[in-house]
Amino acid sequence: MNRFGAIAALMLLIQTADAVEWPYNEKANAAAEIHQALEETRSDHKLVLLVFGANWCANCREFDRALHGTSRALIDGRFHVVKIDIGNFDKNLGIAARYDDPIKMGIPAIVLLSADDQVIYSTKGGELANARKMGETGIYEFLSKAIVSKSR
């Protein structure tokens, strides 16, 4: 019976893992999503926040939790967020290069864009690469100083 219980638990674990929603859509067309966000920005006067990361990255997942948690009020209503999957540093690298290579020193990385596709702010030194240690409060404080102050 123990063997049956272990197999059942393993099957449940596999089903649960499949049901997890990952923050980065690995099949998304990042260029098209950026274009769409820029179009929307031109009409609603928000800014575009690009978030570069990967599902395997624990710091990226922590950053995403903060975007949907403590920092949500900070982000909602001001920005169109586009999450860009970089895979194992082998996807969407042209997009990262186009925006001054914010991923060079680590992920997650962010870029803030104006409606005319100009960089207002970019992480360049891996500022968020330790998001797990920053925690939601630290991420909130970083975003408050780094992007919200630049968006005014």
pLDDT at 74: 85
Mean pLDDT confidence for 128-146: 92
- Chain centroid to CA 4: 40
pLDDT at 17: 47
| Residue of 120, 142, 149, 148 lying closest to 59 (CA atoms) | 142
Distance CA 88, CA 41 (A): 30
Mean pLDDT confidence for 2-10: 57
- DSSP state, residue 7: H
Report whether pLDDT(140) > 80. Answer: yes
pLDDT, tens digit (0-9, with 9 covering 90-100), for 89-119: 999 999 999 999 999 999 999 999 999 999 9
pLDDT, tens digit (0-9, with 9 covering 90-100), for 31-77: 999 999 999 999 999 999 999 999 999 999 999 999 999 889 888 88
Tokens of 14: 């596999």
Q: What is the number of helices (H) and of strands (E) in the chain?
A: 6, 4
Domains within the chain, CATH numbers bracketed: 22-148 (3.40.30.10)
Per DSSP, the residues of 90-146 read TSSHHHHHHTT-TTTT-SSEEEEE-TTS-EEEE--S-TTTTHHHHHHHHHHHHHIII
Report whether pLDDT(6) > 80. Answer: no
CB 116 within 8 A of CB 96: no
In DSSP terms, 81 is beta-bridged to 49
